[in-house]
């Protein structure tokens, strides 16, 4: 079976994880189900499984990151892989080496997987298109386009609290225009069959034609937008991606769109509150809500490790299938 899909092999198995868009509901559910199993690894005395033993994972982060980079590293180590963390600011790339030359050198070191974060949209797709056939690429965030593992860890968090997606109303609040996280969340929610996805923010931070292009309902009033919803996802203002003055001030933004305990009262009484981090307290959300009983923000971080273990193990599993088909053993992977 030929899929013709840049992320899948000829049998429909996950080879790269570049974006949620275009993937099937069955594949997303498989990632969620596999992640549930990995959550139990953290409870073991030895927090490791041997699924990626002998494999090498290189973290290529061209943007700063705390949670994403460390959880990818921890996920790879829990799968028993060897991990390379490249410091881009001191690497040969900073001295003028092209991205492709850097990749070729890493491939010569027998790397099996690249985890890539890059400020340019499409960078992960570019690397996947030029990587050697035995190498998998995981997108850890590219420009405004996609952050698929963040989107999936948010889906895992929602499913663990709410079960089925079919009756859920989910509100995403803030800087939708610049947010790769929002795009991945919206794609996943629509594929998984959420009843309603709302985006809420000032007109300057909502993409044009969002309803048609993204499959969402648009609100510019926070109270109206979060009324009766089951899940509220707050987003960080992406100041580093704003090329014009899109907001009068952070103080005024909080007055209109900041989530407070009083405003949370119009949502469903059992609504959960999420944020992908880093949080700007007093800008997107007040501390009483961020640290309150309906916040699941720290659970999102924990679930991120399990999701990344699931995606990495699925891609490595696809590599192993290809090796077996070629009659190779693990020791001959990169020969």
So which residues are the catalytic ones?
67-68, 95, 117, 147
Beta strand residue intervals within the chain, DSSP E: 56-61, 82-86, 113-118, 136-142, 169-173, 196-200, 217-219, 231-234, 272-274
CA nearest neighbour of 112 among 79, 89, 144: 79
Q: What does the angle CA 240 – CA 243 – CA 248 come to, to the nearest 5 degrees?
A: 90
What is the distance between the alpha carbons of residues 128 and 138, in angstroms, rounded to a whole number?
9
3-state secondary structure of 86: strand
CA nearest neighbour of 296 among 158, 146, 202: 158
Beta strand residue intervals within 164-239, DSSP E: 169-173, 196-200, 217-219, 231-234
295 backbone φψ class: left, alpha, beta (φ>0; ψ -120 to 50)? beta
Are 268 and 288 in contact by the 8 Å Cβ rule? The answer is: no
Q: What does the angle CA 186 – CA 194 – CA 295 come to, to the nearest 5 degrees?
A: 75
Phi, then psi, of 232 in degrees rounded to 5: -120, 120
* Structural tokens at position 106: 């890493």
How many CA atoms within 13 Å lie on the side-chain side of 71? 23
Position of tokens 């203002």? 237
What is the distance between the alpha carbons of residues 124 and 63, in angstroms, rounded to a whole number?
13
Cα end-to-end distance, the chain, whole Å: 27
């Amino acid at each position: 079976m030929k899929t013709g899909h840049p992320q899948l092999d000829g049998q429909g198995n996950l080879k790269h994880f570049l974006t949620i868009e275009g993937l099937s509901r069955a594949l997303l559910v498989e990632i969620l189900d596999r992640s549930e199993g990995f959550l139990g690894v953290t409870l073991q005395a030895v927090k490791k499984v041997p699924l990626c033993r002998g494999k090498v994972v290189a973290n290529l982060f061209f943007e700063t990151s705390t949670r994403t980079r460390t959880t990818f590293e921890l996920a790879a180590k829990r799968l028993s892989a060897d991990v390379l963390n490249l410091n881009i600011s001191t690497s040969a790339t900073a001295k003028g080496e092209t991205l492709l030359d850097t990749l070729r050198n890493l491939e010569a070191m027998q790397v099996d997987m690249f985890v890539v974060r890059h400020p340019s949209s499409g960078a992960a797709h570019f690397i996947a298109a030029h990587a050697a056939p035995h190498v998998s690429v995981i997108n850890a965030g590219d420009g405004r386009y996609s952050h698929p593992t963040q989107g999936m860890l948010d889906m895992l968090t929602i499913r663990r609290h709410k079960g089925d997606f079919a009756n859920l109303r989910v509100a995403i609040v803030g800087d939708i225009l610049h947010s790769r996280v929002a795009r991945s969340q919206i794609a996943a929610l629509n594929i998984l069959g959420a009843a309603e996805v709302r985006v809420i923010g000032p007109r300057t931070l909502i993409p044009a034609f969002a309803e048609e292009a993204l499959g969402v309902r648009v609100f510019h009033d926070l109270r109206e937008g979060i009324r009766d919803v089951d899940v509220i996802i707050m987003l960080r203002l992406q100041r580093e991606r704003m090329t014009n003055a899109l907001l009068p001030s952070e103080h005024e933004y909080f007055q209109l769109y900041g989530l407070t305990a009083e405003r949370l009262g119009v949502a469903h009484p059992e609504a959960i509150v999420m944020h992908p981090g880093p949080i700007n307290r007093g800008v997107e959300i007040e501390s009483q809500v961020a640290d309150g009983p309906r916040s699941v923000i720290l659970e999102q971080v924990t679930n991120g490790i399990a999701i990344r273990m699931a995606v990495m193990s699925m891609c490595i599993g696809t590599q192993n299938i290809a090796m077996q088909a070629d009659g190779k053993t693990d020791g001959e992977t990169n020969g």
